[in-house]
Structure 1
Amino acid sequence: MTAEIVLYKGSNQTYFGRLSMDPILRELLSRHVDTTDPKIRFALVFHREAEAVADGSRLVNLLPTVTEVDVVMLRGNKMVARTRGSVAELFGPVIQRLVGRIDPDEDSWAFRISHPVLDGSGEQRRPPKVEGAVDVDLDTARSLPFSVSRLDEPGMETVDPAELGLDPKELSTINVLLPARARRMLVADLPLSRQVEEGGFFLGRIRTVGGDVPRYLVEITDVTPAEGSGAGSGHFTFTSDSFSAVNRLLAERGKDEVLAGWYHTHLFSATRRMGLSDVDVDTHFSTFRRPWQVAGLLNLTDDERVLRCYGRVADAMKECKLWVCDDGDRYRGAGTRLERE
């Protein structure tokens, strides 16, 4: 755990020192589980949301852009406890007790969470500067040298799922079909960093299943890393160059494929309650707007690689049913997650 609490003392917020996050997290969760095991470890997932600070609090959060945090306690790769709340609500009472013991006469303290992801000091790959980019505000009336219009939906074939080996009763709204090659790439062969998040695109073909409610079959025909992207240990960023490159690739391949979605990695173990982050969901809703486009999530640890896929259902992201093809063109159900064999 590299996260620390940096303390500042007095009304002029003079630097005082640093506290290890480990004992703070142990005390935070000690009301719910036994935290005395020295082998347990913690994972933190930071969010940017509105923070409610108790009235009259003299403890100031100096990193107000990071106000929500998931705290996960792990034993090995198994989650044993989890809580989420505002930074002030979770850490404030524990830190106030600690600083009260450090200097009982001082009632004005400030703190911030220090972590490579938040400080910008961790290993990262900055996105390249994009040449020739133009910011466009469609709400501003001005003359533009180009026009913006919605793309037509690609034509989609309606198929009988039984012909592909799919049980119609087991289909979800969005189903991800993984031929053998795409499956091997995602759960085994695709080179992925353990220091920074990686990401890219799914190429594929889209088919539908007849019925009153639309159900999509998203067949992943290829997986391609994004060009011109930026990354750090806790974030991944597409640029306009990323999309230009993948659109050129689709045209060059000439295989009647579409941009079926995207994928990226998280550098910690997969758990049932921790999937896409708020930033991931915002990225999907704002950028991958087709109803059948999917978001792939690969959780990586030293001995684990787990794939899950998510699709938009109404106003939420839901896990997709995964189907794998061992040979030929018939698929079998694989649940909602695939692991390296």
Structure 2
Amino acid sequence: MALDVELFRGEARQLVHTEPLIALLKPAFEAETAPFGGRPRFVLMLRNDPGPDTYRGDLHLTNLRADFGYIHVAIRMEGRVVHQKPYSVNGLVGPILARLAREIAPEERHWAFRIAGLPSPEDLPEDASEGGTSAQRLPPVVDGTDDIDISRSTRLAFGIRPAAEPQIPLLDLAEYGVELADTKAPVTVLLGTGVRRRLMEMELSTEIEEGGFLIGRAFRRTDAPKLHAVIVDEVLPAEHSGASLTHFTFTGDSFGAMNRTLGDRQLVGWYHTHLFQTERTIGLSRTDIDLHRDTFRRPWQVAALINITARRRILTCYASSDDWMAPCPIRNLDDDADERRSTRPTLGHH
């Protein structure tokens, strides 16, 4: 089915431009297709997964069909696939239409667009998508639950009280080659032997988000005891989790399986993947931030994000900071041969 992109100007939404979706996208992929010479063949699959309804730059651009919020782009040349990757519609189409809108009416700040030719919401079967069914993994069904009012704990047959927080030991980052002037973030992440390789090479789906736990040890910094550092020494994929193209869900069973492996170590954070380009400076979505703040409440627990691109994986880490999530510097302890490293570390986002 041929799909057109319609661009509307102003709050009255006057139709000012119509263009086939493939023709609109082709210039954006010249870097991927130019090395191969021939004529590219595009295969586009729009997914019926709700995405952001607004692209914000120097103008306001509303997606009128945000119920189809994600698009999978595959490019074939000379009989082989040279590029394939899912994107958010706003992240891919938004910048292109924003440039076009500025050419048409530079003074206008309110715009809207829609991909015409999609089925109406009323005509969509449950979980349907353009060209097929969205990949997903459903979490296990909960067999039963019970609510406990801890304010009435004195009248219960058992007692409930907060567990005492263990004493967090001190760690001298200078002994690991970390230059302290570079690390004012709330948490500094030290990746133990083989951990970065595991994150970069472990088998991960390109159809649905994957995730799991970061196991290791938490410390306070000797130079700044209110700031923390964590050493991650194991990556543990979550069991019994739910996932789709745009969401990852832990369950109680996920945490139960993880707790059986902890021993005397700590849950220092979690990780998950993103399969599409992010649209903001911070890579975490609002759902990711809410999950972290509700579930991983220790100030030293981190959220690791693996962005899967066509050519590589990009690892970033975040920790809670006031009402936001701050990027964390990452030190790969595989940089040097000695157990205690004294050379300049690889800090930053790998």
Under a length normalisation based on structure 2, what TM-score does the superposition of the two structures give?
A: 0.65
| CA separation of 1:23 and 1:80: change in aligned 2, threshold 3 A | closer
* Pairwise CA RMSD: 4.6
Q: Which amino acid aligns with 2:341?
A: R
Aligned-partner SS, 1:72: helix
Cα drift, residue 180 of structure 1: 2.9
Q: What is the distance in 2 between the residues matched to 1:230 and 1:173? A: 30
Contact 1:321 1:333 in 2 (8 A): no
Q: What is the distance in 2 between the residues matched to 1:156 and 1:198? A: 30
Q: What is the distance in 2 between the residues matched to 1:334 and 1:262? A: 21
Q: What is the distance in 1 between the residues matched to 2:236 and 2:50? A: 27
Contact 1:296 1:307 in 2 (8 A): yes
| CA separation of 1:196 and 1:324: change in aligned 2, threshold 3 A | same
1:21-170 aligned within 5 A: 23-24=5-6, 36=24, 38-40=26-28, 46=51, 71-73=90-92, 93-95=112-114, 121-136=133-148, 147-170=159-182
Cα drift, residue 47 of structure 1: 5.0
Task: Point out where structure 2 has 5 or more consecutive residues left out of the alignment.
Answer: 10-14, 18-22, 30-43, 55-63, 68-87, 99-108
Cα drift, residue 266 of structure 1: 0.5
Cα deviation code 1:140-190 (max 9, x no counterpart)? 9996565554333232221322122111111122100012311110122x1
Q: Which amino acid aligns with 1:209?
A: R
Q: What is the distance in 2 between the residues matched to 1:318 and 1:115? A: 40
The aligned residue for residue 330 of structure 1 is 341
The aligned residue for residue 258 of structure 1 is 266
Cα deviation code 1:299-327 (max 9, x no counterpart)? 11332211100001111101100011122
Aligned-partner SS, 1:176: strand
Q: What is the distance in 1 between the residues matched to 2:155 and 2:237? A: 36
Aligned-partner SS, 1:40: helix
Q: What is the distance in 2 between the residues matched to 1:140 and 1:92? A: 55
The aligned residue for residue 232 of structure 1 is 244
The aligned residue for residue 196 of structure 1 is 208
The aligned residue for residue 304 of structure 2 is 296
Task: Point out where structure 1 has 5 or more consecutive residues left out of the alignment.
Answer: 1-17, 50-59, 64-68, 84-89, 100-109
Q: Which amino acid aligns with 2:190?
A: L
